[in-house]
């Protein structure tokens, strides 16, 4: 029980699978839930009652459940403070053909990437003791233009303006991301209007 309590102190969100490496029986999770030390937040996910959730708690929960996920599009815009819109789903990128997660909470919207579009611009950020992989601001803006029919052209334009004016990315970084996402011709006129 003491090992499990220490883990809950170190990591606000734990998976039941984490107990295997500690050689702790999973039934101890139920004991800590009954004691009020842990709270079940989803299938196989538990949250420490001693750590109040941050604004990015849902990202942590998704990344603990789906370690290969990369936070993208609307969720990445919110993470980088490029929009005031707060998406009701966590947007994640997964490799073509990868398993799609089924989660009770939080709701997840999966988009599929492949090749350089999947791996370019991925940065790990420590959030509540968990590494959350998020695309860079430049890659996020390029993705917004790539998926403009899904998220809306207006949001993509707003993201580009905020990214450049807020100095979250340079024109060179935006241009490189646009080439990787194959939206350079689409973004060029909007980027020229900002320069």
Tokens of 173: 């970084």
Q: How far is CA 66 from CA 25, 27, 92, 103, 185, in A?
A: 22, 23, 9, 10, 34
Model pTM? 0.80
Q: CA 136 to CA 121: how far, in whole Å? A: 5
For the stretch 177-187, pLDDT in tens is 999 999 999 99
Vertex 13: Cα angle to 8 and 17 (nearest 5) = 85
Q: What is the DSSP pairing of strand 90-95 with strand 70-71?
A: antiparallel
Query: Residue 22: is the preceding peptide bond cis (ω within 30°)?
Result: no
Contact by Cβ (8 Å): 126, 59: no
For the stretch 75-98, pLDDT in tens is 999 999 998 888 889 999 999 988
Q: Name the range with the highest mean pLDDT among 40-54, 98-112, 124-138.
A: 124-138
- Which of 127-136, 137-146, 154-163 shows the lowest mean pLDDT across its residues? 127-136
pLDDT of residue 156: 94
Q: How far is CA 131 from CA 11, 13, 127, in A?
A: 11, 12, 6
Q: CA 167 to CA 127: how far, in whole Å? A: 22
Arithmetic mean of pLDDT over the chain: 88
Tokens of 185: 């011709």
Beta partners for residue 177, in sequence order: none
Tokens of 59: 């990202």
Domain locations in the chain?
2-48, 57-194
């Amino acid at each position: 029980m003491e090992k499990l309590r220490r883990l809950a102190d170190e990591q606000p969100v734990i998976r039941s699978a984490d107990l295997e490496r500690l050689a702790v029986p999973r039934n101890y999770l139920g004991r800590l839930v009954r004691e009020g030390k842990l709270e079940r937040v989803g299938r196989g996910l538990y949250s420490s009652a001693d750590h109040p959730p941050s604004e990015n708690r849902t990202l942590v929960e998704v990344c603990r459940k789906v370690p290969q996920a990369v936070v993208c599009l609307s969720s990445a815009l919110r993470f980088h403070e490029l929009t005031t819109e707060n998406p009701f789903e966590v947007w994640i990128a997964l490799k073509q053909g990868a398993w799609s997660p089924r989660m009770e909470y939080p709701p997840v919207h999966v988009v599929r990437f492949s090749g350089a579009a999947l791996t370019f611009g991925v940065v790990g950020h420590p959030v509540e003791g968990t590494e959350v992989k998020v695309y860079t601001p430049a890659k996020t803006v390029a993705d917004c233009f790539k998926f403009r029919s899904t998220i809306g052209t207006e949001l993509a334009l707003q993201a580009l303006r905020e990214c450049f004016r807020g100095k979250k990315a340079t024109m060179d970084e935006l241009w490189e991301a646009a080439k990787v996402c194959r939206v350079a011709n689409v973004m060029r006129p909007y980027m020229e209007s900002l320069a």
